[in-house]
Amino acid sequence: MTVYELQEKILKLKKETNTAILAHSYQAREIVEIADYTGDSYKLSVDASKTDAENILFCGVHFMAETAKMLSPEKRVFLANKDAGCPMAEQMDKELISQLREKDPDRTVVAYINTTASLKTVCDVCVTSSSALRIVKALDTDKILFIPDCNLGSWVKKQVPEKDIQLLHGGCPTHAAVTVAEVKKAKEQHPDALFLVHPECVPAVTELADYVGSTSGIMDFARKSDHKEFIIGTETSIAEHLQYECPEKKFYPVTKNIVCRNMKLTTLPDVYNALVGIKDNVQNYNSLEIIMEDELIAKARKCIDEMIRLGG
Ligand code: 13P
Ligand code: SF4
């Protein structure tokens, strides 16, 4: 069967089962093409809360599907590949954060959305890469503990020096692996290109950027820019999608190694099989239905609601 034939079957099944497909922009082109909603983690969490579909099928990583479930508990939410987790989301321990809160109760705990629902229960407000700066500025407190990504946290801290922002040692292994040497090499190879980078990269790398932003931020910047060449400092899919959308411009991944293995676990057959599972009401071997206790949803959702209240 060709990719196109499989996509046609998916579109048909999607309608039959009243399912909305949400795909993070790090997914492969063939998945993005059959999705109802695509974008960064903030946009997808809002899209999930607005869709009228009965079922949500998430092509991304576990914490994203969990966020969708928390925002739409009445819907059935499925992750297309059950093994797709985000290593950063699992990095911090709920007990450690609870202890830190007890020691310093005046400090507001700001959690990157790349955290488990369980960890969110001991945090005050969530942020995404597109909203972190805005939300930290908007908080009516100066004492903040920012978890888990110390690179995103450092980037925010640098721009809000008036606030006392504490960081812990966590982060994205994919983005943190990008080196200054790789950036310099890419700049030498493409001297006319602008360097657009995700704030999950280390400070020495973001300092070399012409623009720092979320996946959607990077894509919007490149689409609107009059510039013709861009070095992309985030997952290689973003350079691929942009190249497809803007064939008159040139996009170069900063290094070919900037691939999120977890995001890339989901395949088009996974999407098809997950929809067959929804149709037949059987657990598909590769997908996962997100089941969460009401109490966990109620406790963890507070910091997501706070993020939305503060304007995402
Ligand atoms: P965005 O919020 O930019 O989508 O980032 C999510 C993510 O996991 C980046 O690695
Ligand atoms: Fe997690 Fe990094 Fe992959 Fe994003 S790129 S999903 S932060 S491991």
- pLDDT tens readout for residues 81-130: 999 999 999 999 899 999 999 999 999 999 999 999 999 999 999 999 98
Question: For tokens 């790398």, what's the residue?
Answer: 205
Neighbour order of strands in the sheet with 229-233: 211-212, 194-197, 229-233, 250-253
pLDDT bracket for residue 164 (50, 70, 90)? very high
Going by CA atoms, what residue is nearest to atom 2 of ligand 1? 41
pLDDT at 309: 87
Mean pLDDT of 255-269: 96
pLDDT at 312: 58
Domain(s) of CATH 3.40.50.10800: residues in the chain: 3-85+263-292, 94-173+300-309, 178-253
Superfamily of segment(s) 94-173+300-309: NadA-like (3.40.50.10800)
Mutate to test the pocket of ligand 2, among 40, 59, 86, 259 (most ligand atoms within 8 A of CB): 86
What's the CA-to-centroid distance between 271 and ligand 1, angstroms?
A: 21
CB count in 10 Å sphere of residue 73: 14
Q: Average pLDDT of the chain?
A: 95
**Reported pTM:** 0.94
CATH number corresponding to 178-253: 3.40.50.10800
What's the CA-to-centroid distance between 146 and ligand 1, angstroms?
A: 16
* 41 pLDDT more than 90: no
Going by CA atoms, what residue is nearest to atom 6 of ligand 1? 41
Question: Is the four-CA dihedral 7, 8, 11, 16 of positive or negative sign?
Answer: negative
- Residues 126-138 have pLDDT tens digits of 999 989 999 999 9
Mutate to test the pocket of ligand 1, among 38, 152, 215, 307 (most ligand atoms within 8 A of CB): 215
Going by CA atoms, what residue is nearest to atom 7 of ligand 1? 41
Q: How far apart are CA 57 and CA 59, in angstroms?
A: 7
Q: How far apart are CA 93 and CA 177, in angstroms?
A: 23
Q: Looking at domain 3-85+263-292, which of 2.40.30.10, 2.60.120.920, 3.40.50.10800, 3.40.50.720 is its CATH number?
A: 3.40.50.10800
